[in-house]
Structure 1
Amino acid sequence: MKKWVIVIVIIFIIGIPIYDFLNVELDELSVGKFLSEYPSPNNDYTAKAYLIDEGGATVRAAIRVEIDFENEIKTIYWNYDESTVNIKWLDDETIEINNHKLNIFYDTYHWKKDSNWEGNRNN
């Protein structure tokens, strides 16, 4: 019985940090290096783009975009294997980031949650 308890404890000690590392949420991302900012057409919101490039030779760069709502900042976009960003506001609530159209209030793009991420790369 003691052996099973030890095995379970070891699984939790090793498994939880690995699970947490693999399941990164948008609000847990590092800030990254500021690239540029894009005010909305009505100037109520600002999209700010950042380059996350902390992996050295083993991890590729990623782009993170946050929306500044004046009293709240929310990351709405994170895509791996990107080092440049193309942002275009389509209207006061809709933004296109590297060919991904998002409503700033309801939508997010998280590359790990995109089942077709590989197919959408470098479009």
Structure 2
Amino acid sequence: MKPINTDTEEEIKKAKRRALAVLALFPLSFLTLLAYGIYWGFFDMSHLPKQELLTAVDSPDGAYTVKAYLCNAGATTAYAVLGELHFNKVNKKPKNIYWNYREEHAKIEWIDPDTVVINGQRLKVPGQSYDYRKN
């Protein structure tokens, strides 16, 4: 019986470590994709439905417009209000900034050019948003 070369033993150990590292990445990748899928499907505000336009109010300086939509998901759910921020002076896509369940009306008031109150929720735009599922 021929003894195994120490270089060969070291190569086998390295190959086992690489294989173990690759195998450990599969569950980690799967969990990461699963977590992102749950966030995208249930919490990402960019996929909310908009149906009937309730009102649209411009900011005092005309830089923004907030449009409020009434959303109806069917007979077994209550109405919801979606508030969408439109950028009037910059070419950007609209941003959902307000989402509240069990509401049918939208009262929008601008406090200053960057602060809006939607149904009692004060938001500093464009950075802040309100989502009843998170607050």
Matched residues in 2 for 1:90 and 1:49: separation? 17
Q: 1:93 to 1:21 in 2, by over 3 A?
A: closer
Match of 2:77 in 1: 59
Aligned-residue Cα RMSD (Å) equals 2.2
Q: How many residues align?
A: 99
Give the TM-score, by structure 1 length: 0.72
Q: What SS does the aligned partner of 1:90 have? A: strand
Percentage of pairs with the same residue: 33
Structure 2 runs not aligned, ≥5 long? 1-33
Match of 2:126 in 1: 105
Q: 1:108 to 1:59 in 2, by over 3 A?
A: same
Matched residues in 1 for 2:40 and 2:113: separation? 35
Structure 1 runs not aligned, ≥5 long? 1-14, 115-123
Structure with more helix by fraction: 2
The Cα of 1:65 is off from its aligned counterpart by 0.5
The Cα of 1:24 is off from its aligned counterpart by 2.9
- The structure having more radius of gyration, on CA atoms, is 2
Question: Does residue 49 of structure 2 align to residue 23 of structure 1?
Answer: no
